[in-house]
A and B are shown apart, each in its own frame.
Chain A
């Protein structure tokens, strides 16, 4: 390897200019192509209604049941609409389980649901059972195992193995070129770590693809996007702190493990519902431990240092928080109030405020808003929460006016370019210098700037790889969010919809705070860009959140976080 690196570096002067000249256009084309392939299949897959059972009414009418969780009610927005005055707007919930069983649940004790003439709050339903909802008699007729098998076959397939293979090949070529560019421009001492960093990344994605093949899953778009972002993260590491490439690779590896674990726990809804409580407690504990034993860096006490190892537990709390916020329809209908969840959220935000970590607190707050809205559907709740935040903010500023200082230079960075606006003015100067296609790998100045690989990482990417690449980065995250919104229509449980929307929401908010903070559209808060920013905890969190996104992918054979539907009632584990 030594010899290889040496040969590369002596050829540097001759070939590096040529390589940069080619990569300026080649890199965005490759990245754009990859992204286009991924987003096309994520955003255009057909969402056909799936019929899981029929509801046979007294008058002989048969209503199709198209979800696993169905609200029965008079309201137009119910999943099963029964226009009878005796039926409440949201009367009850019909739920299908993994094993094909069905239950009916009344939304509250006052609502009358009779199963075989016995009043019940929650009851298992068999095809023989006659049940009454608000005086309307009906019977549930689940689809036959043959029909279910047919349904599974007809369901839109996830992208084929060939498509995924090509995506990974594209990704690998992109990574190889990035790696080559940094090897030819970088220091000799750090070349080996950079090489290992990129090679490791390639090995990781091929191993994951191989694993998917083994468990009969073929879709790789969401992962491709994550690896694409990680590759540019590795670029930033190679440009700014090449010595940390192996550390970052290790973080990515751990992140992948977190992704698989969270995904596995989401596979079985019953299991996920139980893990939810453990996650809730863990999320709180992470913060409490940090609050007590944490170390303060740059004004925020959000680091836990154990020997030579340091993590930001608040990042892991984010994943736990998403778990905690997700909920099934049945539960949502039974327990309408959010009080417990609000108390939990306030406690988390309180811990973060005590840790002085306002950036993370803001992300939790946005996640809270997302969850609160998803669960209640009430704009009023959201407005109330925002008002409460404003009050808290005003109070906080009265108590600690120095907190305002960090916003002093916001939109005024050019008035104080050597002090308050230093970081952002340099970032903008370098971004402008890079233009649309960048100056080339390793030719940037950003490495001299504080947090060039984390808080202001997009400026580093823009300087060396161009503004087009930054736009692709943002498009990638926006694409994930749009995919989550699209797949919400065919989701099996509101648990997954709320979870995936919150996870994608957190990513969007982080990108917003990070990217727009760097370019002075928003104040700079020191929030990380998912997958892109250098930092282990942030990487773990990003992969953890991605598992929720992956769990929303119900296409046939698409997601390891969704069980394969084999034949009637059965599914693999």
Chain B
């Protein structure tokens, strides 16, 4: 019997194998369960393609979307239209990467309680967007295609980012393929597009020039309406004659900026564009924006000149350029933009955004001059009366796209105000002059900002 009894220990080995196997699973559980629970298709977190739990509200707790029990959107049609590119539609045509990114926090997942919360209430995701500004921006954009965005350069909060064309997720329009009215309907132009910037790129060229040679402000530039490079010409619509750098910037003088670009050289220009991160992808809240493009290094003089004024192969993503404007407005240090402010589940906060600042990309001297020149543009050209008493610096642009399309109308700038530290960008496709198209749009959005934020 002793022998048989001692052989019974074989059973202990079997039991140990079971315990070890389950222990192995527990290790996997504690290291990977957060991934499992937010994996696409996870029954308690997703509802088909979209997240199926929680509520999304704007910065003032206005309901944008209730994801429980199907999807219930805001009861305001303009608000639905202006936010659908951030919160997604019902059928997965428009995804909501920023919300999916926080699936775990929204579900209130933790390893102890899983996604349990008392009474089965979902989490609440508060976005940085302002519903009032979103609807104002949508209205201001009218029938144009493009995007308008405003962000707080001190906190990084994205207050307004509307993309058009858009549609009402509660009232999906019938449209056929190739219908130009709905071209790029599902695209979030703020994050997923890259535009030919036109003259707003002169801010970048000017910054590079100021960083290279601070005495450039003393120089003056001649413009006869055209500037010859080899057999080709860079032209202005009208001659600007002799002008200071400040005036050349206000005049958006192509001839003057061609001279500055050639003085800098393609390599230097390229170096600064890369340092400023204007063409880099921006990543926030699980979103990665489209990449821009700039190729001046090693190019012929003419191409370098065109590049410096936002033509040739130049492309910028609106979000990346907005962030650059944030650096210009905030002493050379941009606050990285973010969309999701905080997430609470059943009274406890599972996520809280923190402001991230990048390394300074501009010197104090450069920033001071850029700000001065940008504000001068407004007071001396675009009209301060358009900005409701706010101190604004801005630059318009007209990006020639070729073909039978009208140019892209562009505008980038900032508000110098302690209580409204805002940077903005407006990109309108197939529109015409930046000043004529974009200034009225941003004027309405900033008016709404003044009311919504003060």
Contact = CB atoms under 8 A, between A and B. Distances in A.
B55 to A, nearest CB: 18
A370 interface: yes
Contacts of A329: 1, 4
A232 interface: no
B37 interface: yes
Nearest to B8: A488
B41 A439 contact: no
Given A438-B116, A489-B5, A491-B5, A432 B43 contact: no
A17 B8 contact: no
Contact of A79 (B1, B22, B113): B1
Contacts of B15: 478, 481-482, 508
A69 B5 CA distance: 12
Contact of A433 (B19, B115, B119): B115
B4 A374 contact: yes
A523 interface: no
Contacts of B8: 374, 484-485, 488, 497, 501
B111 A436 contact: yes
Interface residues on B, range: 35 or more
Interface residues of A, number: 66
A436 B113 contact: yes
Interface string B109-146: 11111111011100000000000000000000000000
B208 to A, nearest CB: 47
Nearest to A515: B22
Contacts of A505: 10-11, 14
B114 A504 contact: no
B111 to A, nearest CB: 7
Nearest to A70: B1
B10 A67 contact: no
Interface stretch (A346-354, A421-429, A535-543): A421-429
B45 interface: yes
Contacts of A67: 1
A522 B21 contact: yes
A24 interface: yes
Nearest to A506: B14
Contact of A431 (B5, B19, B29): B29
B219 interface: no
A374 B10 CA distance: 8
A441 interface: no
Contact of A77 (B6, B14, B19, B28): B6
Given A69-B1, A417-B41, A488-B5, A501 B114 contact: no
A167 to B, nearest CB: 23
B17 interface: yes
Contacts of A21: 118
A29 interface: no
B302 to A, nearest CB: 52
Contact of B22 (A70, A440, A482, A516): A516
Interface in B11-26: 11-12, 14-15, 17-19, 21-22, 24-25
B113 A435 contact: yes
B17 A498 contact: no
A512 interface: yes
B3 interface: yes
B9 A485 contact: yes
A439 B44 contact: yes
A71 interface: yes
Given A439-B114, A485-B11, A508-B15, A79 B2 contact: yes
B111 A435 contact: yes
A429 B36 contact: yes
B116 A418 contact: no
Interface string A468-492: 0001001001100110110011010
A519 interface: yes
Interface in A389-446: 414, 417-418, 425-426, 428-440, 443, 445
Consensus secondary structure, chain B interface: helix
Given A433-B44, A512-B17, A78 B2 contact: yes
Nearest to B12: A485
A435 B29 CA distance: 10
Contact of B112 (A366, A435, A439, A443): A435
Nearest to A430: B43
Contacts of B109: 432-433, 435
A21 B6 CA distance: 47
A481 B11 contact: yes
B39 interface: yes
Contacts of B19: 474, 478
Nearest to A414: B39
A432 B36 contact: yes
Given A431-B29, A508-B14, A373 B7 contact: yes
Interface in B313-357: none
Contacts of B110: 435
Interface string B43-81: 111000000000000000000000000000000000000
Contacts of B259: none
Nearest to A422: B41
Contact of A429 (B28, B37, B116): B37
B42 A433 contact: yes
Taking each of B18, B42, B45, which has the highest tally of chain A beta carbons within 10 Å of its own beta carbon? Answer: B18
Contacts of A489: 5
A319 interface: no
B70 to A, nearest CB: 16
B33 interface: yes
A552 to B, nearest CB: 10
Contacts of B45: 429, 433
A467 interface: yes
B175 to A, nearest CB: 30
Given A68-B1, A433-B114, A443-B120, 14 more contacts: A69-B1, A79-B2, A417-B40, A428-B36, A429-B45, A431-B36, A433-B37, A436-B112, A437-B113, A439-B116, A485-B9, A497-B5, A505-B10, A511-B18
Interface of B: 1-12, 14-15, 17-19, 21-22, 24-25, 28-29, 33-34, 36-37, 39-45, 107, 109-116, 118-120
4 closest A-B pairs by CB:
A435-B114, A445-B43, A488-B8, A432-B33
20 contacts: A78-B2, A428-B33, A430-B43, A430-B44, A432-B36, A433-B44, A435-B110, A435-B113, A445-B43, A466-B114, A482-B12, A484-B11, A491-B1, A497-B8, A498-B4, A505-B10, A508-B11, A512-B17, A519-B25, A521-B24
